[in-house]
Amino acid sequence: MKLMKFSCKNYIFGLISFFAIPFSVNAEVDSLGLPVLKGWRKIDVGDAVLYINPIKYQIEVRGGYGRYLMEEKLYRRYQNPQGGYVGGVFQEKIYTVLDCVDKTYRIYGKLLGRDIQKRWKNIEVGSSEEVLARSCEFITMFPKTSYPKVR
């Protein structure tokens, strides 16, 4: 009888543990040891990982939508400590904003700790911006946002 109680307790404890312990313990991680962004496209090269959000956004400019399209990326990288300064894994968000009327684009955000607000540029054939520009014909189907502010 005691043996039966013991195994029953183990079974109940196992069930409680299964539901009480967060599932994130077994969550998938990238090569930098950080959780993978589910649903985002991942380009993992070992010491750097680029995630691209598959959801594109319409940007509000001068109170209106339907002209500017945004793609969001997250860049993670490992940096060795140098000269006594902190190293480790760093991550930065990068936004590509595309003008669907003028067929130009601009990049916002920080990369390697520096501001990368580039000037408006023409879209080059074969570039990732050209791929993004193909979404312009469906721009009204994308969710709306007001970030980043287009200047």
Q: Which amino acid is at 22?
A: P
Does residue 61 fall inside a structural domain? yes
Tally of structural domains, the chain: 1
Q: What is the pLDDT of residues 97-142, one digit of tens each?
A: 999 999 999 998 887 777 776 789 999 999 999 999 999 999 999 9
Residue 2 has pLDDT above 90, yes or no: no
Q: Which amino acid is at 61?
A: V
- For residue 27, what pLDDT is reported? 76
Does residue 10 fall inside a structural domain? no
Does residue 132 fall inside a structural domain? yes
**With b meaning 16 or more CB within 10 Å and e meaning fewer, what string describes 54-73?**
eebbbbbbeeebbbbbbbbb
Give the domain range for residue 130: 41-145
- For residue 148, what pLDDT is reported? 60
Q: Among all chains, which residue has been given the structure tokens 């945004």?
A: 70
The pTM for the full model equals: 0.74
Split at pLDDT 50, 70, 90, the class of 77 is very high
Does residue 11 fall inside a structural domain? no
- For residue 6, what pLDDT is reported? 42
Does residue 18 fall inside a structural domain? no
Does residue 75 fall inside a structural domain? yes
Q: What is the pLDDT of residues 42-69, one digit of tens each?
A: 999 989 999 999 999 999 988 899 999 9
pLDDT: which is higher, 26 or 112: 112
